[in-house]
Amino acid sequence: MTTATTLGVEPARIGNPHRVPERLDQVLPVRRDVPGYGETCFLTTWNPTDGVGLFLHAGRCPQDVDLWWAQSLAYLPGGKIAVDRSWGRSRDGGAIQTGNFTIRMDNPLKGWTSTFDGAGEITTAATMVTRPSGAGPARPMRWELATEAAGPVWDMYTALGRQSNGGQDWASGTHTQQVLRVRGTLTVDGVEYRLDGTGANDHSSGTRDLRNFGSHHFLIGGFPGRALHSMSIFGMDGAVLLDSGSEFGEGEDTEPVTLTDVPPLAGLDATPLDFEATLNYADGTKTPVRLEVLHTAPISINTDNDNINGVDWDSPDTLFLSESRVRMTLPDGTVGFAHLERSCQRSTHAAS
């Protein structure tokens, strides 16, 4: 099997086909003049050999945009997850910091770094489906990692044929992503794991309004020599609000692509866990791709933009998201790995 560290495009062969300026891949100046302004980012990693990775998600507090929140989820062997949520103010304009949590964006278009020195509640996805997590009995947790570009920065609005601003209520300013290679270590409760493998980031800004955000699926990952981005968003009535994506090769090689036939969440445990979707290219070519969930964790986001580890059954207007690491297999046997995010509304599922 192809190892994860060979996925994506070699750094020396990565171009910038979307002409993304460096300033978009850095912590952005706060727009205090924009009602409901927000800025969020995530960083995911996965070592498929050891079954270990991270899902890191951070953003500005809606009530105080100088205050950052951060969700820290470590995927561990045996289906376990270590979970923390923290808050803090960053004294460094090139980083997102909450005290024990840091994501640095000081090498724009090339990759981010992250450190953490704190603790996490040890739990499972099955438990997180029943309640919010991250504030129970905890065990020491720390990591240190560096990422390297495995593809160019993808600009969602450029992929849609527009300049990088405006159009989506959940990211009315900007939205960029990048496929990465990862090196680092994670230690939980005295056990050290390697984070070496594949990863990805995303970065959004602008007014964040989820009132018409009904559901979505979002895939970001890599095959040998290629980096893949796909996002589909549906309104409360099921109408398509956005359907976009790009597959990057070497240099300026870019091909529009969308991902269809992704089943809706049958359960908040991310089922179905193994299914065949379709990659649709601009020339009419359709390629089936098998997606197998290897590890997953549920989170919740309500209309006040509270980001919660686990499922919050007490908030009536909540979007549930499954954050999954998946193996991708093409018909010719080519294997890649990706982060798959799927969502649904609380109203579509009964309390566990």
Asked if residue 1 is part of any domain, the answer here is no
Tokens representing residue 330 in the block: 């093409």
Domain count for the chain, please give it: 1
Q: Cα-flanking dihedrals φ and ψ of residue 218, to 5°? A: -145, 125
Asked if residue 119 is part of any domain, the answer here is yes
Look at residue 26 and give its three-state secondary structure: coil
pLDDT at residue 202, as a whole number: 96
Asked if residue 76 is part of any domain, the answer here is yes
Residue 75: its H or E element: strand 64-75
Asked if residue 3 is part of any domain, the answer here is no
Q: How many CB atoms lie within 10 A of CB 166?
A: 13
What is the overall mean pLDDT for the chain?
91
CA atoms within 13 Å, Cβ hemisphere of 172: 12
Cβ atoms of 173 and 205 within 8 Å: the answer is: yes
Look at residue 9 and give its three-state secondary structure: coil
pLDDT at residue 209, as a whole number: 74
Cβ atoms of 75 and 52 within 8 Å: the answer is: yes
Q: Cα-flanking dihedrals φ and ψ of residue 48, to 5°? A: -70, -20
Q: What is the DSSP letter of 262?
A: P
The answer, as to whether pTM is greater than 0.95, is no
Show the domain range for 218: 17-347
pLDDT at residue 251, as a whole number: 95
Alpha carbons 222 and 234: distance in angstroms, whole number: 25
Cβ atoms of 109 and 147 within 8 Å: the answer is: no
Q: In the 3-class helix/strand/coil scheme, how is 303-343 assigned residue by residue?
A: CCCCEEEECCCCCCCEEEEEEEEEEEECCCCCEEEEEEEEE
Asked if residue 10 is part of any domain, the answer here is no
pLDDT digits (tens, 9 = 90+) for 210-250: 777 778 899 999 999 999 999 998 888 888 888 899 999 99
Look at residue 5 and give its three-state secondary structure: helix
**pLDDT above 50 (res 164):** no
Confidence class for position 2, pLDDT limits 50, 70, 90? very low
**pLDDT above 60 (res 174):** yes
pLDDT at residue 1, as a whole number: 36
The residues that bridge with 180 in the sheet, in sequence order, are 149, 199
The residues that bridge with 176 in the sheet, in sequence order, are 155, 203
CATH number of the domain encompassing residue 237 = 2.40.370.10
Asked if residue 120 is part of any domain, the answer here is yes
Cβ atoms of 301 and 318 within 8 Å: the answer is: yes
Asked if residue 4 is part of any domain, the answer here is no
Asked if residue 129 is part of any domain, the answer here is yes
The residues that bridge with 52 in the sheet, in sequence order, are 47
For the CA atoms of 20, 26, 29, 31, the dihedral, rounded to the nearest 10 degrees, stands at 60
| DSSP letter string, 164-230 | SS--BTTBSSEEEEEEEEEEEEEEETTEEEE--EEEEEEEEEEE---TT--EEEEEEEEEBTEEEEE
Confidence class for position 262, pLDDT limits 50, 70, 90? very high
Alpha carbons 43 and 199: distance in angstroms, whole number: 7
Cβ atoms of 251 and 208 within 8 Å: the answer is: no
